[in-house]
Amino acid sequence: MKPKISDVAKLAGVSPTTVSRVLNNRGYISEETRENVQKAMNELNYFPNDVARSLFNKRSNLIGIILPTTSNPFFGELTFHLENISASLGYKVLLCNSLNRIDKEEKYLEMLMRNQVDGIIVGTHNRGILNYHKQNLAVVAIDRNLSETIPVVSSDNYEGGKIAIKLLIEKGCQTIIHINGQKELETPAMLRRNAYEDVMNNNGRTPITYEVPDVFDRQSQQQVISKIFDDYPNVDGVFASNDLFAASFITEAKKRGLDVPGQVKVVGYDGTETTQILLPELTTIQQPIASIAKTAIELLVKEIEGDFSEIPLETRLPVKLIEGTTT
C-alpha cells in the first residue's frame, strides 16, 4: 500500500500534524524534527495524496481544456503551450476533445465540474458553459465569444483577413474566393470573413464565401473545394480561413492542372510549426499561438485567484504575414 501521512508520522515518531507542517512548510518546526520527518518520507518513498489535499483545500489546481481536437495542428500546438504554461504555474491539465459536438461538450463540462477544476479554457462553442461561469467558475475563451463576461483571447482576425485579401488584390487576382467554417456569430474567427467582405466591397468586388459544414471532416472539405472549381472555373485567388483548407485547395488545383501561384494564388491562416515544415511554400497569416496560450492561462489564473482587476474582456494578439510561394 501507498504510505500515508500517518505512516510517516509513526516512523518519525511525531504526529501527523507535524508531518503536514513539514510538508507545507508552515508554522514552526525544529530543525531536528524536520530532518527526522524528511528522512522518514524518503525511507517510505512518501508523497502526499493530492486528492485528499484538494478535498480539504477546495482547490484542485486543475484546469480543464475543451477544444475540438488536438489532431488539428493549430489546436495540437495550442494544447502543448497551454499545458506547458499551466505546468510552469503549478496547474495540471484535464484534456477534452469535443470535436465541436454539443453533446460531448456538455458531458465534458459536467465531468470537469465534478472533478472540481479551478478553471476552464474553452476553444469550442459551449454556450452551456455560461451557467457554470455564473456559479463563479473561472473561464477564458480562445477565439470564441461566449458571453459578455467571459474574456476572449484571439489573434487579430480582422487584421489578418485584411492583410490576406489585400495581398491577393495587390497581386492582381480578379476572382477571389473565401473558404471558411460555418457562420457562427460568436466566433471572432468570423472576423476573418468580415475583413474579406469589407475589403472586397471597398474595392468594388463581390465577396463570395464558401462554407465547410464540418470543419474537421476531410470529405466535407474536399466536396466544398470541388464545388468552388465547378462554380468558378476562373477563380484566381483564395483566402482560406485555415491552412488545411488552403492545402486542400492547392491539392485540388494541382489535380485540375492549375499552376499555383501562376493561375491561382492562395493564402491560408494559422501558420503552425507543422505547416511551416510540411508546406513551407504556403503563404499564410500566422497566429501567435504561444502568446495566445500564455495570455489565456495568465488571465485564467488571475480569475482563479480572484484578481479581477486587470482582466480585459478582449485580447487581440498581432498576426504576421508569412509569404511563401503560393501568392
Partner DNA sequence: CTGAAAGCGCTTACAG
Binding site for a copy of itself (CB under 8 A): 2, 45, 47-52, 54-55, 60, 65, 69-73, 75-77, 79-80, 83-84, 87, 92-97, 107-108, 110-111, 113-116, 135, 218, 243-244, 247-248, 251, 272-280
Residue number, 116 or 145, with CB nearest to a copy of itself? 116
**Cβ–Cβ under 8 Å, residues 16 and 9:** yes
Angle formed by the axes of helices 73-88 and 243-255, to 10°? 160
Of residues 140, 180, 138, 171, the one with CA closest to residue 237 = 171
Rg (C-alpha) for the chain, rounded Å, is 25
Residue 100 CB: number of other CB atoms within 10 A? 20
Q: Which three cell numbers stand for residue 82?
A: 497551454
Task: Give the one entry of a copy of itself, DNA, none that residue 158 binds, where binding means its C-beta sits below a cut-off of 5 to 8 angstroms depending on kind.
Answer: none
The interface region with DNA, picked from 16-24, 160-168, 260-268, 303-311 by CB under 7 A, is 16-24
Give the nearest distance from C-beta 59 to DNA in angstroms: 10
Residue nearer to DNA on the CB measure, 15 or 263: 15
Residue 2 and residue 5: Cα distance in Å, rounded?
Answer: 10
4 interface partner picked from DNA, a copy of itself, none, CB below 5 to 8 A per type: DNA
Please list every residue from 47 through 66 that binds DNA, using CB under 7 A: 48-49, 52-53, 55-58
Phi, psi of 236 (to 5 degrees): -130, 10
To a copy of itself, the closest distance from the beta carbon of 45 in angstroms equals 8
110 binds, among DNA, a copy of itself, none (CB under 5 to 8 A by kind): a copy of itself
One DSSP character per residue, 120-139 reads EEE-S--TTHHHHHHTT-EE
Closest C-alpha among 100, 80, 65 to residue 273: 80
Q: How far is the CB of 275 from a copy of itself (least distance, A)?
A: 6
For position 136 contacting DNA by CB under 7 A, the verdict is no
Tally Cβ neighbours within 10 Å of residue 108. 22
Nearer to a copy of itself, 68 or 191 (CB): 68
- Name the residues that contact DNA, by CB under 7 A: 1-2, 4-6, 13-18, 20-21, 23-24, 26-30, 32-33, 46, 48-49, 52-53, 55-58
